[in-house]
Amino acid sequence: MDADLEAVPIEADCYGRDLFDVVCRIIGMREVWYFGLQHVNKKGFPCWLQMDKKILNQDVVRQSDGSYFFLYLVKYYPEVIEDELVQDITRHLFFLQIKQSILSEELYCQPEAAVLLASYAVQAMHGDHAPDIELELDKLLPKTVIHQYDMTADMWKERIRSWWANNSGLSVEEAEMEYLRVAQDLSVYGYHYYPIFNQKDTDLLLGISAQGVGIYELMNRVSPRAFFPWSDIRNIQFNNKLFTIKVTDKSKIKFRSQEASVNHSILDLCIGTHNLYLRRRQTDSLEIQQMKIQAQEQREKRAREVAKHQKEREQRIRLEHERDRLKSDNEIINGKLSDLENAMRSTKEANRFYAEKARISETEALELSKRANQAEAEAQRSKMSQIEAEEMKITLERKLRDAHRIIQETGQSTPNLARSHHDLFAAPLWNYTSQSLHQQLMLNRRSDLNGGSPDAVLPLGEDAAEGEAPPVIPGNQLGSMFELYSDRLNPGMYSSQFFNVELNGLRDQMQKSSDEYRQRNLDFRTRLADFRREIEALKIEDRQTENDKAHESNLQNGLDRYASQRKSELDLPSFF
């Protein structure tokens, strides 16, 4: 149990009922008809305290300090726990006692059911599944179950955690009730066993339960050799050590208890269990009806609170998910904005670079235009110099002809003629050569300005005399060059397209939605069968008990505890 009661003082003439009522008032128990006070007699056998007798007149062991030690335990079990247990404290005490009975192996539990019960026990103790909680196997599974299979402690814990995760959302009350629902289907649930002899002195066990009385073999508490439901029992009595069960067909079953000191406990247990059997089939008393109404109101109130808390929890989870999603979206948007800012910064730098390059190109174009104008002016001057040279040449030729004519007329000698010819042509020819070199330099400069084209040359000599104008760089060509640079440097088109693509990507990202969670609820009986098949290969055969073998036989024959009881009712064994 959870705690020990402090010492309760009793009088010398105190009856068992007086002490029992005091304990029930202390713990607040109203469903007192399920419980009793158990003690160990002087011969070491567990017995129930008789309510109608004085405590000092019963076979109770007195401790060294003069006190008496009792256990407040379940004495009578209900047929259907969910329908009959009313108070929360009653359910909780049932849960604690049955859990302890399974761990101490007083109550046989098959391995697959033991793992399921352990998961409900963990849910009741720790709440929803948490990976950081350490599981203690010795407080969850019977030692026999652990040793019967070739499985490590971590393997058992892993399977318990797997079942525990499926119990998420169950409250403490719901988890304990689920534990009891599974436990009441166990083969030996709700039985009190006492050693007896039949008339052939064969060692047997007498099992008393809410359904009836069964006779069992000493090593097999799963399948009764004979079972008598309370509806078939007319009377139970004992004389000294001999018990007699009278059934409706007027037959008698006789057996002897192995210890006479427990005879009163056996008879008292049979009478009390039969009385509860009859009371279940009658209308509930006013007290029980009132208790059920109060319990129902408490359950509804608790259910509303649980629903409210569950709604708040779901809302909190939803808000947390929404917060995380918005935070994630915000981080994505901030990242996109940062990328856009970097892109805009890069674009501005590129724009400044292209603008600077355009300005430099414009300056170069102006410089080229200036040089072209200078070349054109120089060409004009060269043309005028050529015209002047041609006119001088014509004048000289005319003078030469006049000189020849004069020589011919005067009859001068040839040397005089040669010297006169030299004097006439020396200065003009030097001037002409100087002008030709200057024109050649201007021709090379124009060739560089026109991209080195050999066809763009300045007219010299006789071509210039014919009046052709020297080639120049037209103004419209310079304008076309500037427009070409301007088209390449225009940043508006690139910037607009870049922003449109980025903004469309952001819209697509913000329109995404999160996936929904789904839940699954599997039938525990199917999972038990699957788990049993899963661990079947790990079973160690030589460690199986008689109860295990009997339980396996019932499974193969499709028998549960109630079917085996009905089968045992058909005929009586020959050993009576």
Q: Is residue 434 part of a domain?
A: yes
pLDDT at 497 (0 to 100): 53
458: nearest Cα among 468, 479, 438, 443? 443
CA atoms within 13 A on the CB side of 25: 7
Domain residues for the domain of 23 are 1-75
Q: What is the CATH number of the domain that holds 54?
A: 3.10.20.90
Could you say which DSSP state residue 195 is in? E
pLDDT at 102 (0 to 100): 94
CB distance 142 to 110 below 8 Å: no
Are residue 91 and residue 172 in the same domain, yes or no?
Answer: yes
pLDDT at 72 (0 to 100): 93
Between 452 and 125, the higher pLDDT residue: 125
What number is the average pLDDT over the span 379-396?
A: 83
pLDDT at 500 (0 to 100): 53
* SS3 call for 207: strand
- Residue 345: pLDDT band with limits 50, 70, 90: confident
pLDDT at 155 (0 to 100): 92
Are residue 18 and residue 106 in the same domain, yes or no?
Answer: no
Question: pLDDT by residue (tens digit) across 40-68?
Answer: 988 888 999 999 999 888 888 888 888 88
Token representation of residue 138: 């010795």
Other Cβ atoms closer than 10 A to 468: 11
Are residue 19 and residue 138 in the same domain, yes or no?
Answer: no
> What's the farthest any 2 CA atoms get from each other in the chain?
199
Are residue 30 and residue 136 in the same domain, yes or no?
Answer: no
Q: Is residue 483 part of a domain?
A: yes
Q: Is residue 146 part of a domain?
A: yes
Are residue 294 and residue 443 in the same domain, yes or no?
Answer: yes
Are residue 71 and residue 88 in the same domain, yes or no?
Answer: no
Across 33-83, the runs of DSSP E, i.e. the strands, are 35-40, 46-48, 71-74
Question: pLDDT by residue (tens digit) across 421-451?
Answer: 445 444 444 444 444 444 444 544 444 444 4
Taking the C-alpha atoms of residue 573 and residue 575, their distance in angstroms, rounded to an integer, is 6
Are residue 468 and residue 487 in the same domain, yes or no?
Answer: yes
pLDDT at 509 (0 to 100): 54
Token representation of residue 358: 């355009």
Taking the C-alpha atoms of residue 396 and residue 426, their distance in angstroms, rounded to an integer, is 11
Taking the C-alpha atoms of residue 479 and residue 365, their distance in angstroms, rounded to an integer, is 9
Lowest-pLDDT range, 332-341, 345-354, 464-473? 464-473
Handedness of CA 14, 16, 21, 22 (dihedral sign): positive
pLDDT at 104 (0 to 100): 92
Question: pLDDT by residue (tens digit) across 65-100?
Answer: 888 889 999 999 999 888 889 888 999 999 999 999
Token representation of residue 158: 């892993």
Q: Which residue shows structure tokens 């849910």?
A: 123
Q: What is the CATH number of the domain that holds 93?
A: 1.20.80.10
Picking from 75, 107, 130, the residue at the C-terminal end of a domain is 75
Taking the C-alpha atoms of residue 34 and residue 272, their distance in angstroms, rounded to an integer, is 9
Are residue 406 and residue 448 in the same domain, yes or no?
Answer: yes
Lowest-pLDDT range, 241-250, 265-274, 551-560? 551-560
- Residue 389: pLDDT band with limits 50, 70, 90: confident
pLDDT at 401 (0 to 100): 82
Question: pLDDT by residue (tens digit) across 519-533?
Answer: 544 565 677 777 777
Are residue 147 and residue 57 in the same domain, yes or no?
Answer: no
Are residue 386 and residue 468 in the same domain, yes or no?
Answer: yes
Taking the C-alpha atoms of residue 405 and residue 409, their distance in angstroms, rounded to an integer, is 6
Are residue 8 and residue 93 in the same domain, yes or no?
Answer: no
pLDDT at 483 (0 to 100): 44
Picking from 460, 480, 510, the residue at the C-terminal end of a domain is 510
Residue 397 has pLDDT above 90, yes or no: no
pLDDT at 477 (0 to 100): 42
Query: End-to-end distance of the chain based on CA atoms, in angstroms?
Result: 40
pLDDT at 417 (0 to 100): 45
Q: Is residue 576 part of a domain?
A: no
Q: What is the mean pLDDT of the chain?
A: 78
pLDDT at 467 (0 to 100): 40
Residue 72 bridge partners (DSSP)? 37
Q: Is residue 57 part of a domain?
A: yes
pTM greater than the 0.85 cutoff: no
Are residue 366 and residue 461 in the same domain, yes or no?
Answer: yes
Picking from 164, 186, 208, the residue at the C-terminal end of a domain is 186
> In the chain, how many domains are there?
3
Q: Is residue 198 part of a domain?
A: no
Percent of the residues in the chain that have a pLDDT greater than 70, as a whole number: 76
